[in-house]
């Protein structure tokens, strides 16, 4: 079934796996975690191996795996000792905030830079640097995917420009900016490669333990949302991927980089193009508050998608919206509710489609390549009536992605690394 001609392997590391398996904490994996300290450092390699699920790859496939890449949750960070490889703190999770570091980060970074958020990787690094008084010289910062890849290839301090964006890497200059390099902690920053670049071969001990081939390559990865985008197969400028999960997130491949902090819009680099993204607070979570998935299926079957619904809602779970309208006081609007639930659902789906259309229009107005085609992932993508409604509202071809697993996108990066390696041989 796989279109891959070179067998590759990939891992999509879900946050929960690290929360529950890899971190021996007191069980509080939630957002209100305390500031990490050295006594919490308790991540060991055997746990990492289970996080990597090396044994889940079938024994018969392992000998033919040509390359491996990993995607991980962006801004999940660990600081380790480069001489021993031991963690110097427990991992900072992606959504953990370090407000103590924010004033300092804001004072060195350009205004509205992506690092100017308490949960950015740079705030985590600064917070650690200011609270720790030993091992500073030999420390190295790794993102979640970098750390897991390091366990496989053994070369310390390698990352990719997607994961490194939130620590301050400038993907346009393809280097860390001078304002960051002049900081006393700049030696902790990992070296940065393009996603899907060969780092080296799999370490001998891991390779023999699990039965991977001698020349199995380990390649740089990316963040999990970018891997999910890559999985959907949008490779040309103007192709968009809308994720209809609990929230509505749109990503558009563009020739131009677009940033606007007001709307939370920013761009990741993807080779010679830019992946522009924005996320609304509307989405499937509101539907789930009103209907079960079974009801959604049954009611949707009765909708005529060619007919416009006269109902104009703004479905939100709570007050506040950021994209495509920046209004922290926006109230959810789900009234009037018609007696007929088919009409009600039709109105909600159509209203979400209008928000999606407005999102793509905003990206165009900010300078991105206009969207030409939309591929859909997430729980809402299986709703064929919704796809038809969206085609009418967006005025564009809309389809469901064939592949939606982030791990598939990481496998595509692994294949890229293997192909480039073959070409350079
Ligand atoms: P996430 O990973 O963001 O939690 P998923 O991608 O798993 O979300 O999608 C779950 C969402 O999909 C739910 O909020 C649910 O309302 C929505 N959903 C499930 N079935 C349907 C359907 N038939 N039509 C529209 N939305 C659906």
Residue with tokens 């609007």: 333
Is 13 or 229 the better-scoring residue by pLDDT?
Answer: 229
Over residues 402-418, mean pLDDT: 94
Q: Please state whether beta strands 198-201 and 217-219 pair in parallel, antiparallel, or not at all (unpaired).
A: antiparallel
The pLDDT > 90 percentage for the chain reads: 80
Over residues 111-122, mean pLDDT: 92
The candidate with the shortest Cα–Cα distance to 224, out of 400, 69, 379, is 69
pLDDT tens for 304-340 read 999 999 999 999 999 999 999 999 999 999 999 999 9
Tokens of 104: 């300092």
pLDDT of residue 24: 25
What are the strands, taking DSSP E only, across 162-247? 191-193, 198-201, 217-219, 222-223, 239-244
Q: What is the mean pLDDT of the chain?
A: 88
Over residues 173-186, mean pLDDT: 98
The candidate with the shortest Cα–Cα distance to 347, out of 293, 300, 396, 278, is 300
Over residues 23-30, mean pLDDT: 27
pLDDT of residue 16: 37
For ligand 1, the distance from its centroid to the CA atom of residue 408, given in whole angstroms, is 20
Confidence of residue 133 (pLDDT cuts 50, 70, 90): confident
pLDDT of residue 50: 60
For ligand 1, the distance from its centroid to the CA atom of residue 401, given in whole angstroms, is 15
Beta bridge pairs of residue 175: 170
Q: Quote the radius of gyration of the chain (alpha carbons, Å).
A: 22
For residue 152, whether the previous peptide bond is cis, meaning omega lies within 30 degrees of 0, is no
pLDDT tens for 234-270 read 999 999 999 999 999 999 999 999 999 889 899 999 9
- What is the interface pTM, i.e. ipTM, of the complex? 0.98
Flag whether pLDDT at 186 surpasses 70. yes
End-to-end CA distance of the chain: 29
Over residues 119-132, mean pLDDT: 96
Q: Which of 243, 246, 316 to mutate to test the pocket of ligand 1 (most atoms within 8 A of CB)?
A: 246
The candidate with the shortest Cα–Cα distance to 238, out of 259, 258, 252, is 252
| Distance (Å, whole) CA 112 – CA 57 | 43
Residue with tokens 């380990």: 218
* Helix pair angle (293-301, 384-394), 10° resolution: 60
Flag whether pLDDT at 123 surpasses 90. yes
Contact in structure between 268 and 274 (CB atoms under 8 Å)? yes
Residue 269, number of CB atoms within 10 A of its CB: 21
pLDDT tens for 34-87 read 333 433 444 555 555 666 777 788 899 999 999 999 999 888 999 999 999 999
pTM score, two decimals? 0.85
pLDDT of residue 35: 38
Q: Classify 200 as helix, strand or coil.
A: strand
Least reliable range by pLDDT among 17-26, 334-343, 396-405: 17-26
pLDDT of residue 174: 97
Phi, psi of 327 (to 5 degrees): -150, 95
For ligand 1, the distance from its centroid to the CA atom of residue 276, given in whole angstroms, is 23
Residue 288 in contact with ligand 1 by CB distance below 6 A:
yes
Q: Is 200 exposed, middle or buried (0-12, 13-18, 19+ CB in 10 A)?
A: middle
Least reliable range by pLDDT among 12-21, 264-273, 346-355, 359-368: 12-21
Q: Please state whether beta strands 398-400 and 373-377 pair in parallel, antiparallel, or not at all (unpaired).
A: parallel
Q: Classify 72 as helix, strand or coil.
A: strand
Over residues 406-417, mean pLDDT: 95
Residue 285 in contact with ligand 1 by CB distance below 6 A:
yes
For ligand 1, the distance from its centroid to the CA atom of residue 246, given in whole angstroms, is 6
Is 41 or 131 the better-scoring residue by pLDDT?
Answer: 131
Q: Which of 243, 283, 380 to mutate to test the pocket of ligand 1 (most atoms within 8 A of CB)?
A: 380
Tokens of 333: 């609007």
Tokens of 337: 């509710």
For ligand 1, the distance from its centroid to the CA atom of residue 160, given in whole angstroms, is 31
For ligand 1, the distance from its centroid to the CA atom of residue 356, given in whole angstroms, is 16
pLDDT of residue 37: 40
pLDDT of residue 389: 98
| Distance (Å, whole) CA 296 – CA 385 | 11
pLDDT of residue 139: 97
Confidence of residue 30 (pLDDT cuts 50, 70, 90): very low
Tokens of 421: 């390696």
Question: Could you give the C-alpha distances from 186 to 50, 108, 138, 163, 179, in angstroms and in order?
Answer: 32, 13, 12, 16, 10
Contact in structure between 370 and 361 (CB atoms under 8 Å)? no
Residue 245 in contact with ligand 1 by CB distance below 6 A:
yes
Residue 383 in contact with ligand 1 by CB distance below 6 A:
yes
Flag whether pLDDT at 114 surpasses 60. yes
Residue nearest ligand 1's atom 27 by CA: 380
For ligand 1, the distance from its centroid to the CA atom of residue 162, given in whole angstroms, is 27
Alpha helix ranges (H) inside 201-312: 204-210, 224-232, 284-290, 293-301
| Distance (Å, whole) CA 140 – CA 391 | 48
pLDDT of residue 49: 61
Contact in structure between 25 and 35 (CB atoms under 8 Å)? no
The candidate with the shortest Cα–Cα distance to 207, out of 199, 196, 216, is 216
Alpha helix ranges (H) inside 251-400: 284-290, 293-301, 341-365, 384-394
**H/E segment holding residue 412:** helix 406-424
């Amino acid at each position: 079934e796989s279109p891959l001609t070179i067998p590759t392997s990939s891992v999509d590391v879900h946050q929960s796996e690290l929360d529950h398996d890899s971190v021996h904490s007191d069980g509080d994996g939630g957002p209100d975690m305390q500031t990490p300290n050295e006594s919490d450092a308790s991540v060991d390699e055997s746990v990492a191996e289970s996080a990597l699920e090396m044994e889940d790859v079938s024994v018969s496939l392992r000998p033919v795996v040509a390359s491996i890449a990993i995607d991980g949750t962006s801004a999940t960070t660990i600081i380790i000792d480069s001489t021993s490889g031991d963690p110097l703190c427990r991992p900072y999770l992606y959504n953990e905030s370090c407000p103590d570091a924010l004033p300092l980060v804001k004072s060195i970074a350009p205004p509205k830079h992506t690092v100017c958020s308490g949960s950015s990787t740079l705030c985590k690094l600064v917070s650690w640097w200011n609270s720790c008084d030993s091992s500073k010289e030999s420390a190295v910062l790794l993102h979640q995917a970098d750390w897991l890849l390091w366990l496989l290839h053994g070369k310390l301090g390698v990352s990719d420009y997607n994961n490194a964006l939130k620590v301050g890497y400038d993907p346009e200059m393809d280097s860390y900016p001078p304002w960051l390099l002049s900081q006393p902690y700049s030696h902790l920053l990992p070296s940065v490669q393009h996603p899907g670049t060969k780092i080296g071969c799999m370490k001998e001990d891991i390779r023999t333990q699990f039965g991977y081939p001698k020349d199995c390559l380990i390649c740089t990865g990316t963040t999990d949302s970018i891997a999910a985008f890559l999985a959907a197969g949008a490779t040309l400028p103007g192709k968009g991927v809308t994720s209809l999960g609990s929230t509505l997130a749109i990503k558009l491949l563009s020739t131009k980089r677009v940033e606007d902090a007001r709307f939370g819009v920013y761009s990741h680099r993807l080779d010679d193009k830019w992946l522009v993204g924005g996320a609304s607070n509307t989405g499937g979570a509101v539907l789930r508050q009103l209907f079960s998935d079974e009801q959604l299926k049954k009611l949707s079957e009765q909708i005529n998608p060619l007919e416009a619904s006269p109902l104009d809602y703004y479905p939100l779970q709570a007050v506040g919206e950021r994209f495509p309208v920046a209004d922290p006081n926006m109230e959810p609007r789900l009234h009037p509710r018609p007696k007929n639930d088919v009409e009600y659902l039709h109105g909600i789906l159509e209203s979400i489609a209008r928000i999606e259309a407005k999102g793509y229009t905003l990206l165009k107005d900010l300078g991105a390549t206009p969207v030409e085609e939309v591929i859909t992932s997430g729980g809402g993508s299986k709703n064929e009536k919704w796809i038809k409604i969206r085609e009418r509202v967006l005025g564009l071809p809309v389809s469901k992605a064939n592949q939606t697993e982030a791990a598939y996108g990481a496998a595509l990066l692994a294949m890229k690394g293997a192909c480039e390696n073959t070409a350079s041989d």
